[in-house]
Copies of this chain bind each other. A is one copy, B any other.
Amino acid sequence: MNEQKKDLKQFLLTADLQEIKEVEEYLHPVDILDALHRSNDEEAEIILSRLSDETVADVLDEEDDEDIYSFLKKLSVPRQNEVLEEMSSDERADFVRALDEDESKDVMSKLNTEDKKEVTELLQYEPDTAGGLMAVEVITIYENRTVLKTLEYLQKTDPEAESAYYLFVTDRQKVLKGVISLRDLVTSSFDTLISEITNPNVVSVHTDDDQEKVAQEFEKYGYMALPVVDSGNHLKGIITVDDVLDIIQEETTEDIHQMAGLSKEEKVDDSLPEAMHSRLPWLIINLATAVLAAICVAEFSDTISAVVALAAINPIIAGMGGNAGTQSLTLIVRGIALGELTGENAKKIFLKEVGVGLFSGIIIGIILAIGCYFVYGNMYLGLVAFLAIVGNMLIATISGYAVPVILQKLHIDPALASTVFVTTCTDCCGFLLFLGLATVFLPLLV
């Protein structure tokens, strides 16, 4: 694999131009992009000069929005115009969205009238809605044609690729009437009327639908693409499943990061300053909550002075609560993200979490109590540890359930900072419970 890819860069740099021309439509834009990323500026310019406008546009479609502009700048101005025209409408709009004002003006001035109108229209939609995700290259056909006529029409017009796995049937006002897949087209005899193979029961999404909803529709129905319509059911564009893969990974990464106290956007190969910017705020918030917990401990200095064993057992109580809380929290946050926690099963799940807290508290508590008794030879120390663990595990699973559910009710992302809330809760409560009980039982512990 790696050998092949090194070869590709070498191939693009050195092969005969005619040879490149013959194979370039069969090269994968992603692989060419890889080769470009592994090239220095000079090599990249050479490679770009050896590829057709269409191929360069395909490669740019795959590049991160933020990095397209600098790539584009490597081309001559007339070539920039050509390449921009060949890019797919959704990628082009996303790219313009990522530019600053001057750059955006520059790019817009290079678009032809039609593309400019398209970009302006697409930019009206929020980026994380169906409208912001869709491409406008849709193939529409009329239902009173035959398969043969339709094939001839497609052969003549050679429509853009993005939408080509489904053909949409609309009336003259562009109102969506139905869909046929290319599979149906190629397996039906030439004299079949399109209306005979049209599926009128189209699943569509609305331009304003959130991208998370769009992803859920794809997961549910398993289609390769979904049409996007406005409130009058006019066909506005199409979203393909490859965009949805990206959305799902992006939404999940955000959730995972937020639970761990990283910024949504941090990437594994971010620079040191970017990483510090992402993490330090959370570390400082964590420091504040840790100080809060330390104050709880400090309140019981006299008790600890009297029985110094408490200082060793204390972190066990808090830590076990933190672990149990994180378990519940993780399950609930993921359950919400996957749409598995519904109004109907919420109460049952809450009671289950309470049960897990109670029973695992009892089991862990017994183990810990026996351990304390053997090490310190004091039955009451074991009892205090037992009661504190049971109490803290209950608090842990209840807060692990409650925190994300409450955040969601408040329309805040349930993943956001929920670990901080839960572990602050289990740390403080664990310390207070254990050291408080120890203070009450103090005469029996010394």
B186–A221 touching, CB < 8 Å: no
Does A199 lie at the interface of the complex (its beta carbon under 8 Å from any beta carbon of B)?
Answer: yes
What would 6 more interface pairs be, CB under 8 Å, given A154-B187, A301-B312, A304-B304?
A: A164-B187, A241-B245, A249-B338, A269-B345, A291-B371, A301-B311
Does A383 lie at the interface of the complex (its beta carbon under 8 Å from any beta carbon of B)?
Answer: no
B301–A261 touching, CB < 8 Å: no
Q: Which residues of B contact A308 (CB under 8 A)?
A: 301, 304-305
User: How far does the Cβ of A3 sit from chain B's closest Cβ, in whole Å?
Assistant: 14
Does A77 lie at the interface of the complex (its beta carbon under 8 Å from any beta carbon of B)?
Answer: no
Of A123-131, A229-237, A359-367, A436-444, the one contacting chain B is: A359-367
| Bound-complex Cα distance A368 to B23 (A) | 62
Does A246 lie at the interface of the complex (its beta carbon under 8 Å from any beta carbon of B)?
Answer: yes
Of A46-54, A68-76, A292-300, the one contacting chain B is: A292-300
* Known A28-B221, A203-B28, A331-B266; contact A320-B245, beta-carbon cutoff 8 A: no
B186–A185 touching, CB < 8 Å: yes
B287–A155 touching, CB < 8 Å: no
- The interface of chain A, by Cβ under 8 A from chain B, is 23, 25-28, 30, 62, 151, 154-155, 158-159, 161, 164-165, 181-183, 185-190, 199-201, 203, 218-224, 241-242, 244-246, 248-249, 252-253, 256-257, 259-262, 266-272, 275-276, 279-280, 282-284, 286-287, 290-291, 293-295, 297-298, 301, 304-305, 308-316, 318-320, 323-324, 326-327, 329-332, 334-335, 338, 340-341, 345, 348-349, 352-353, 355-356, 359-360, 363-364, 367-368, 371, 427
Please list 20 pairs of residues, one from A and one from B, whose beta carbons are closer than 8 Å in the complex, sorted by A's number. A26-B200, A28-B221, A154-B186, A159-B187, A164-B186, A182-B186, A219-B245, A248-B249, A260-B330, A268-B332, A268-B338, A268-B341, A272-B359, A275-B356, A276-B360, A283-B323, A286-B319, A287-B320, A295-B312, A311-B314
Across the two chains, which residue of chain B brings its CB closest to A351?
Answer: B272
User: How far does the Cβ of A194 sit from chain B's closest Cβ, in whole Å?
Assistant: 13
Across the two chains, which residue of chain B brings its CB closest to A287?
Answer: B364
Q: Which of B62, B276, B355 contacts A359 (CB 8 A)?
A: B276
A155–B189 touching, CB < 8 Å: yes
B314–A272 touching, CB < 8 Å: no
| Bound-complex Cα distance A183 to B160 (A) | 9
Across the two chains, which residue of chain B brings its CB closest to A293?
Answer: B315
| Bound-complex Cα distance A270 to B334 (A) | 14
Across the two chains, which residue of chain B brings its CB closest to A259?
Answer: B330
Q: Which residues of B contact A310 (CB under 8 A)?
A: 311
User: How far does the Cβ of A189 sit from chain B's closest Cβ, in whole Å?
Assistant: 5
